[in-house]
Structure 1
Amino acid sequence: MTQIAGAGCPVSLSNMIAFLKTFLDENGNVSPLYKQEGASTPDAESIYAPALTYTLLFTLVVYAFEAHLDDLQYAAYKIKDFPKNLKDTVLKIDGLANAKSEGNTKEEEAADDVLLLPKLESKFEKSQKYGVDKIRFQMVSQLYNLIEGVGFLVCGFLPYTWDMAASVYDKGEIGTSLVFLAILTLIGTITSLPFELYSTFQIEKKHGFNKQTMGLFFSDKVKSLLLTFVIGGPFVALLLNYRKG
C-alpha cells in the first residue's frame, strides 16, 4: 500500500482515489453534491466537472509529495546518535582545552565545566525530541487539511457558502463577497483553533518555548480577526469596486 502520510498513518493514495470514485459521474469526472443554479447545464458541466477533477488530483499529488518529504524528515529526527563527524571535531576542541589546563587544578575543573560535547549532545537530544513532536503534529494537521479540502470540494462547500452569503445580503456583489469571505474566515479560524491550541499549549509548552497564557492567546486571536475585518474588508471592497469600474 502506497502511504501518503508518514509515521504509520493508515491513509493511502489508492484508498483516497477509491473513495473519490464514488462521486464520479458517467464521464469519469467528480460531481459535487451541491451545485449552484445553472451549474448543471451541459456547457457548465463540460468546464466545471473536469476542472474540479483535476484540482482534486493535483491536491492529492501535492499532498503525497509533501508527505514523502515529511517521512524523510521524520526519519532524520528519529536518529538518536550524535553526528560522528561533528563529535570528532568537538572532541578535538575539548582536547585542546584540556591540554591547556593540564597541571592547574582550578583550570582543569573549569575546563570540565565548559566541555562542548556534553552540552551539544544534550541540545541535540532535546532538538530531536522537539522535531519528532513537531513533525508528527504536522503530519496530522496536513492530513486533516487534506480531508477538509477534499471534503469541501466534493460537497460543493464554496458554492453553497456563496449562495448562503447571497441569502444574507443580496443587494450587490460586493456585499455578498464580503459576507462570503467573512464566513470562510470564521470557519477557517474555528477549524484551525484546536490545532493551534495543541501546538502552542502542548508541544511548545512541553519543550519550554511557550510563555503565552490562554487569555493572551484568545485576545490575540480576537484582535487578529478584528484587524482582518476592519482592514481587509474595505480593501477587498475597493478591489471589487475597481474591477467593476
Structure 2
Amino acid sequence: MVPWLGPEDPFPGVERALGASSGAPGLLAASADLLPSRLIDAYRHGIFPWYSDGQPVLWWSPDPRMILRPDEFKVSPSLRKTLKHVLRDEAWEIRVDHDFAGVMRACANAPRHGQRGTWITGDVIDAYSSLHRVGDAHSIETWRNGERVGGLYGVSLGTMFFGESMFASVTDASKIALAALVAHLRRHGVALIDCQQNTSHLASLGGHEIARKAFIAHLRTTVDAARIPWRFDKQVLADLVSRPGAVSVA
C-alpha cells in the first residue's frame, strides 16, 4: 500500500518504494499538495513528483536511477560541429533564467513519444517557479535571432543538479542547452546530474543507471554544499569544443 501523506507527514524511507515486480516501480507515496517546502525535502532525499493531470501528486524514487556525469558527456562529431557554429554565430545565445516559466510551458507542450498530455500543469509551474524565485531552480535557454528555440530546467541544491525536462523547436536546440549546462557544472565541480529515469536519448549522451543506494549516498555529500553561481553565456561551450580529450566522443 502506497502511503498518503498529509501536509505535515514526512516522506517514508526510499527503500519502501514499490519494487520492479510491481506495476509502478519506484512509486513511494502520494499527496494532495505540491508545496515548495515539500519539493525541496523530496529532492534532498532522492524523491521527485511525476503524475498526470487529475491524479494526486505521486512521489517516486526508482531503483536504479538514471544519471549523467558531466565528465562523461558524449559530444558526437555532428554536435561538436553544431557547438562550434553556435560559438561563431552571433545569432545564437545561451541565456540563464531569462524566462523560467516560459521554458516550463514549452516543455509542457513538447511532444513525448508514447505519452499523451503532460504532468507539467499550471500548479506544477507555480510550484517550481517558487523554487526559481529563491534560487533553487534554474532554466538554461537556447536563443536564436532573439527567439527562444530550446532549453531545459531543473533544481539545483548545493553541488547537485536535478534535471527535469527539456524542449527544442529547432534541431539540437535542447542539446545545445544541455551542453552549456554540462560545461558550466564541470567548471564548478558538479559530478552528477540526476536524470530520474532511463531513456535512449539520455543514454546516447552518456547517461547511465546507478543503484539508488549509491545515488542517495551522493546526495548526502552534495545537497548541503555551498551553492554554485548561475551566470554564464555560450562561451562556456568552448570547454567542450576546444578540449575534446576531456569528454567522451561518440
Q: TM over 0.5, yes or no? A: no
Q: TM-score range by the shorter chain?
A: under 0.3
Report which of the two has the higher share of strand.
2
Q: Which structure's CA Rg is the greater one?
A: 1
| More RCO (CA 8 Å, sep 6+) | 2
- Is the helix fraction higher in 1 or 2? 1
- Calculate the TM-score normalised by the size of structure 1: 0.22
